[in-house]
Copies of this chain bind each other. A is one copy, B any other.
Amino acid sequence: MGPEEFRTAGHELIDWIADYRARIPQLPVQAQVKPGEVAGKLPSRAPEEAEPFSRVLADLESVVVPGVTQVQHPAYFGWFPSNASLASVLGDVAAGGLAALGITWQSAPALTEVEEVVVEWLRELTALPPSWKGVIQDTASSASLVALLSARERATEYSETRGGLQAESVPLTVYTTPHAHSSVTKAAALAGYGLDNVRFADVDPVTYAMRPEALAAAVEADVAAGRRPAAVVVNVGTTGTTAVDPLAQIVSVARQYGMWVHVDAAMAGSALLLPEMRWLIDGVEGADSLVWNPHKWLGTLGDCSLLYVADPDHLIRVMSTNPSYLRSAVDGEVTQYKDWGIPLGRRFRALKLWFHLRLDGVEAIRERLRRDMDNARWLAEQVSSTPGWRVLAPVTLQTVVLRHEPAGLVSGTGEVLDRETLNAHTLSWADSINASGAAFVTPSMLDGAWSVRVSIGAEATERSDVAELWNLMKQAVAT
């Protein structure tokens, strides 16, 4: 395809996207397709001859769109806000058109330097320590793996350059809470620590935040048993309830044992743009790394996860390679992001952040974040003040964890009396809302029983959409 053919098709596609975005409120939120339904509409072999663009665009409309849960929908209250602002989409379009090769500084100096500038913009906006340096990763899963690899290598004084973790004699341990994201245990497993060496410190029964005393006790027990505490993953805004582990207190425990402190603020990091929410990471200057995802609540098209580290030299030492065909005369003067993560080749992801911040402006983004937290507080008030309903966790950010409790299933003090019936009821009404396509919420386990997470923060979600969800929920439990 040449530039002129691209121009014609590109204009059609832009119009299609604009039309699609405009009509999302009319689409069902949850994809209504059955397993295999999308694949069944596609040919089993690739075409030998080129097809016209109109046919591909028609498939996009008739096959793909019905097969996608509409996370940009104003009634999307699922997993987490997964916003993709149209400003950031434009930045990604520019990146695709440029198709720069991001393997070294030399292959695309602008890819590296725009990224350096934009991650520094966001460091300043989130008030992270001025000496910290950032890099864009694909996801928090990868960033947390990089953090736990960095922790492993610090604890073993670069065992990777010798016999590897397998040659170490003192077992390393990793700490977090039972409310940590699944990517944390996955990272610990992949980094070679082994699940037997992952400790889940107790949380406070009301806030679901890590109890520093529980962490200290676990660490002390491991040290007494001859193990070496290597890292603690601090959850700032858990997936389940947006619980906030007390970072400063955790840092003071970790520092005694030389542990790596990694902060997982994947969802909550966006809130750090608000000065009134900076308390979320009080004590961060004593931590070693922090990850947060602009591709969630902030609204930068995914994939776009930010990993900040206190000691970039250590990260580079863990991750660097230097083959002859990638060397250049300026190596000592420039940043080589290939040595800041797992992949060698990197896309020009900084452009979508750059476009997003410039075209939307920071003040408007802050206002939207505040709107979402207001909406969450409003919903929590409605739920709390309505008999038969309960808010199950503090509403720290934009997520309300709630349950409808038919008479007799839960005691006055909140003790579940008939778990099986309650669970069936919860899943049933949540599924009925999701199946209707009118809104989308995520059931989640909390204290061994199913609850429903209402995660507010789609870019399009206004107070009226939250009010409509509240009506839907009341109707759903009544039928």
Contact = CB atoms under 8 A, between A and B. Distances in A.
B344 A13 contact: no
Nearest to A66: B110
Contacts of A108: 31, 67-69
Interface string A95-136: 011111101011111110110111011101100000000000
A6 B21 contact: yes
A221 interface: no
B47 A358 contact: yes
Contacts of A106: 30-31, 69
A121 B48 CA distance: 11
Contact of A56 (B79, B239, B358): B358
Given A64-B98, A82-B101, 7 more contacts: A46-B118, A46-B122, A51-B359, A84-B99, A142-B343, A161-B189, A325-B444
Contacts of A99: 71-72, 82, 84, 89, 301-302
A60 interface: yes
Given A69-B108, A96-B93, A182-B326, A22 B35 contact: no
Nearest to A57: B94
Contacts of A303: 343, 345-347
A206 to B, nearest CB: 20
B345 A121 contact: no
Contacts of A149: 190
A110 B166 contact: no
B84 A96 contact: yes
Interface stretch (A316-324, A373-381, A385-393): A316-324
Interface residues of A, number: 160
B196 A71 contact: no
Contacts of A453: 325
Contacts of A186: 319, 321, 342
Nearest to A191: B192
A310 interface: no
Give me the 7 closest cross-chain CB pairs, A-B, nearest first: A164-B194, A67-B110, A84-B99, A17-B97, A10-B14, A50-B361, A165-B192
Contact of A4 (B18, B167, B321): B18
B63 A196 contact: no
A245 interface: no
Contact of A47 (B34, B72, B82, B357): B357
9 contacts: A39-B113, A45-B124, A49-B363, A50-B361, A51-B358, A65-B110, A142-B343, A165-B194, A303-B343
A408 interface: no
A113 B38 contact: yes
Interface in A2-31: 2-7, 9-11, 13-22, 30-31
A77 interface: no
A334 B36 CA distance: 8
A139 interface: yes
B45 A363 contact: no
Contact of A325 (B160, B302, B323, B442): B442
A67 B112 CA distance: 10
Contacts of A2: 86
Contacts of A35: 105, 109, 330, 333-334
A31 B163 contact: no
Contacts of A224: none
A253 interface: no
A311 interface: no
A345 B138 CA distance: 8
Contacts of A162: 194-196
Nearest to A49: B361
A145 to B, nearest CB: 6
